[in-house]
A and B are shown apart, each in its own frame.
Chain A
Amino acid sequence: MIRRLVLWLDDRLGAASFARKALRKAFPDHWAFMLGEVALYCYIVLVLTGVFLTFFFTPSGQDVVYTGPYAPLRGARMSAAYASMLVLSFEVRAGLVMRQIHHWAANVFVAAIAAHAMRIFFTGAFRRPREINWIIGTCLLLLAMAAGFTGYSLPDDLLSGTGIRIAYSVLLSVPVIGTWAAYLFFGGEFPGPGTIQRFLSLHIMILQALIVGALSLHLIIVWHQKHTQFRAPGRTEDTVTGSPLFPNYTLKSIGLMFAVFAVLAFLGGMVQINPIWLYGPYDPTTVSAPAQPDWYVGWLEGLLRLFPNWQINLWVVQIPEPFFPGVLIPALLFLIYALWPFIEQAATGDRSVHHFLDRARDAPARSGFGVAGVAFMALLTLAGSNDILAHVFGVPVEWITEILRGAVIVVPVVFGWATYALCRELKKQQEEPKPLWHALRRGATGGYAEDERR
């Protein structure tokens, strides 16, 4: 049966010789190499659950009165979009679990991409010849964040509406074109009539087309360039050793896929996420406190909260405050992140091909920068919840803000330097291994000699 199918296909496509090699392709085994796969499988869940959600979502800001089964909101005025998500959550069978799995998958998707990016960074897997794929990867992280933000904005609840409000203000702050850009993008002064419909187009068409395109390219390049691997006895720069794609790696990877699905299903069923019926419908004159975005937007929110009130006055025009923390700094950070392979090449002068991975200690400066960057982002994310921190510690929120303003500068420097020093020390020890033992030997002439074994 298999034989006949294979021959039938090969007669028409001539794919047998490629497929034969492909099935025996070597996939190095290491747990950290699976982070990217976790992201891929989250994306599959997002597409499957997302298609289901589109069947029930009404992309409209039109005013309706709720009459459904959720008593606390009965009679409340809300947008048709919000009402449709209440119907999905309370009246469509398996609707709520689908929505929650979708939302959880989005959070894990971005987390998996971030973890994957860190793995690539700290092992130096972005070095020549893989610079292009690193840049595609940074684009994918950006696209995933944009897809997440446009997605959780769609239900038009009070929390996400406030997020769009802030996004509008940040767009408005861009010099020269800000006002026009905001009016065109949102269809007028906030809350523009087209917001939800446009966010839906972005979320389900434009961003997904870009993600699928970039993801395909990313995988094709990985396949073509072959995997990196850690050093081990018997491995060389010109070869790559691992499990064959079929059957070993296929079985393992599909197992991982089902494991990711299982975790997301459990979270979607048992751990409530984005309970929009508790937030209420969006109303531009109301706000909830505390209000936090999804985790991956937290650092942007933190930047907005921490950044001092700078505003540049240029005679008759101005650059308002949100431009610096909302546009300029994130753009610079992303630029450094995306161009890191070239920055490192310029700094070290090492432009040669690397297929062996570094350990963190092998490149102390890179590891130091990486840890400093992660600490910086983590502190900014914390700053996005400064009101919660103030509540937890029972101190004024102003204190938390002032402390974090200092901490985002000092802590990354300290962490980065400590990592650098630690890695350098480890590297030194590795290069000149300490003797395992010393032995003092008394010679026949009565003198002493020292033996050591390395």
Chain B
Amino acid sequence: MSPAERRVAAALTVSILGSAGLGVVYALGGQAQLEGVLLSIALGGLAAGLAAWALGLLPPEQVTDRREPQSSRPEDRIAITSELERGKEDLTSRRTLARLLLGALATFGAVMFFPIRSLGPAPGRSMFHTKWTAGAYVVDSLGRRVRAGEMSTQSVITVFPEGDLGSAVSQALLIRVDPTLLRLPPSRMDWAPYGYVAYSKFCTHAGCPVGLYRAAAHQLLCPCHQSTFDVLDGARPIFGPTTRALPQLPLRVDSDGYLRAAGDFSAPVGPGFWELPPS
């Protein structure tokens, strides 16, 4: 055997051993890393063998092809144009029928698009409200009603209206802050009893959950695109790609000490859309 032949033979032998090993590993129950490596050896051996064969054993032959011009012969080019025109003439000479045919196809085509409407419900006003209503109990992620006084200042939990646990739309962040620091607009003065403020957790930029709270700075940060909101100032955006504040949920404390909503969020929640009036 010449050295080149030996190289090919060695590579192909390695491949056979790899395949056999893979068979054994698989029969014994399988193991992901071994499977990958042995499969790689089996395939790599084939690759090396073929490459060594092509480069070392085949005569290094070169062939040269002539390029024919890309365009067809002139007579064909003229003939195809005139044949197309003649065919079109045959069809359009009967003007009424031709128009009827177009009309029939167009009407049918339009009807063909109707099933698209079956794909989903009409948006209607569903984007404009959530399950929060006046009097709804505030519950935590396990469904327990939240009582005023059970959270210390600077703590934050994710809350839902009772009965809509885990909702992508209704999710809110309940944060307790020092009430003297709050700078809410006058109309929202009574929305944050004992320093409990609640904002939609649904980012107004691209809809990620606004999952990070920088407690020292009183900032909420969306980990997806870093929109940052000032918790003390009505969740006004202070950095990042969003323009809208996180909608605020009006809260009150009932006579039993439970936190309840005093209504829906201050604005539609989540990312913007065409029908959302500019605020």
Contact = CB atoms under 8 A, between A and B. Distances in A.
Contact of B273 (A26, A173, A247, A309): A173
Interface in B121-136: 121-123, 126-127
Nearest to B67: A238
A182 B122 CA distance: 10
A267 B46 CA distance: 18
Interface in A228-270: 237-244, 247-248, 251-252, 254-259, 261-263, 265-270
A183 B205 contact: no
A184 B120 contact: yes
B121 A183 contact: yes
A304 B67 contact: no
Size bracket, chain A contacts: 35 or more
Contact of A252 (B51, B270, B274): B51
A291 interface: yes
B26 A93 contact: yes
Contact of A189 (B169, B228, B239): B169
Contacts of B208: 162, 165-166, 287
B266 interface: no
Contacts of B212: 289
A325 interface: yes
Interface of B: 26, 29-30, 32-37, 39-44, 46-51, 53-55, 58, 60-67, 70, 116-117, 119-123, 126-127, 141, 158, 166-169, 171, 201, 205-209, 211-212, 223-226, 228, 237, 239-244, 270-278
B36 A386 contact: no
A285 B171 contact: yes
A280 interface: no
A241 B275 contact: no
The 3 closest A-B pairs by CB, nearest first: A269-B36, A320-B272, A255-B50
A427 interface: no
Contacts of A97: 32, 35-36, 39
A241 B66 contact: no
A19 B74 CA distance: 28
Contacts of A175: 274
A252 B50 contact: yes
Contacts of A248: 54, 58, 60-61
A258 B242 contact: no
Nearest to A166: B206
6 contacts: A262-B46, A266-B40, A304-B224, A321-B272, A353-B70, A401-B240
Interface in A308-348: 308-311, 313-322, 325-326
Interface string A156-171: 0000001001101110
A26 B64 contact: yes
A281 B200 CA distance: 22
A184 B275 CA distance: 16
Contacts of A100: 32, 36
Interface of A: 24-26, 93-94, 96-97, 100-101, 129, 162, 165-166, 168-170, 172-180, 182-192, 194, 225-226, 237-244, 247-248, 251-252, 254-259, 261-263, 265-270, 283-291, 301, 304-311, 313-322, 325-326, 353, 355, 386-387, 397-398, 401
Contacts of A266: 36-37, 40, 44
B206 to A, nearest CB: 4
A194 B171 CA distance: 21
A355 B67 CA distance: 9
A308 B241 contact: yes
Contacts of B226: 305, 386-387, 397-398, 401
A269 B214 CA distance: 40
B126 A247 contact: no
A189 B202 CA distance: 13
B120 A185 contact: yes
B141 A285 contact: yes
Given A251-B54, A284-B171, A287-B208, 12 more contacts: A172-B271, A225-B70, A238-B66, A241-B64, A265-B43, A266-B36, A289-B223, A311-B243, A317-B274, A317-B276, A321-B241, A386-B226
Contacts of B120: 183-188, 192, 194
B171 A287 contact: no
B116 A179 contact: no
